[in-house]
Amino acid sequence: MVDCKRSNGQSILPIFYDVEPSDVNHQSGSYEEAFCKHENCFDECTVMKWKEALTQVGELHGWHVNKEADGHQGELVETIVQTVSLNLKKKCMFTSDYLVMIDDHLNEMMRLLNVGSNDVRIVGILGMGGIGKTTIAKSIYNKLLQDFKNCCSFLADVREKVKQYKDKGIVDLQNQLLNDTLKPHPLITNVNDGIEVIKS
């Protein structure tokens, strides 16, 4: 799990059940006994790697079953489910599994975006309707989602929403952007408030 967190940016949400986080962090108590046995069965490098991983996990913010929600496990489960649901909410956009000739476009977009540099990039995708502009944008979003999972949003059909719904369309888009990137956020009711909240 720690390797996945380091290499892929995946999350670890520890639940400490009948164990103290400090025991995990320092490999004391039952962990100390277990490692004494492991040292007889596994090489020193492997055991050291496990200890380092547990130290990292013990330092993460998690849930201590006996100390959260006054020990009510049902309430704790509800809290954990809500947290996991929020983390999973930022998911990939749907694109067809059978896209033809899109790889060259994606590679060119990734080159233009120059992800990893310290500057901000905006790349426009122009063309007549139906040629795949939104599909390319969704594919790029999916490709970059892992790098920006804590703060990302995909706003589709912006021009159409603004044209059809005027200010209400803008307010809806502002609320969607804030909902995707900021939790909790104040409910925006007019365009000017939305501009100020997004700016801050």
Domains of the chain: 2-89 (3.40.50.10140), 92-150 (no CATH), 153-200 (no CATH)
Give CA–CA dist 8/30, Å, rounded.
31
The 10s digit of each residue's pLDDT in 138-152 is 989 888 887 776 678
Considering only CA atoms, which of 83, 85, 78, 32 is closest in space to residue 62? 83
Residue-wise pLDDT tens digits, 158-179:
989 999 989 999 999 999 999 8
Q: What is the pLDDT of residues 54-101, one digit of tens each?
A: 888 888 878 888 777 676 788 888 888 877 766 665 567 777 777 777
pLDDT mean over 123-146: 87
Average pLDDT along the chain? 84
How far is CA 100 from each of CA 65, 96, 138, rounded to the nearest angstrom? 50, 10, 15
Nearest Cα residue to 167 out of 196, 198, 197, 188: 188
Residue 141 φ then ψ, to 5°: -55, -50
Q: Are 124 and 137 in contact (CB under 8 A)?
A: no
Q: What's this model's pTM, rounded to 2 decimal places?
A: 0.51
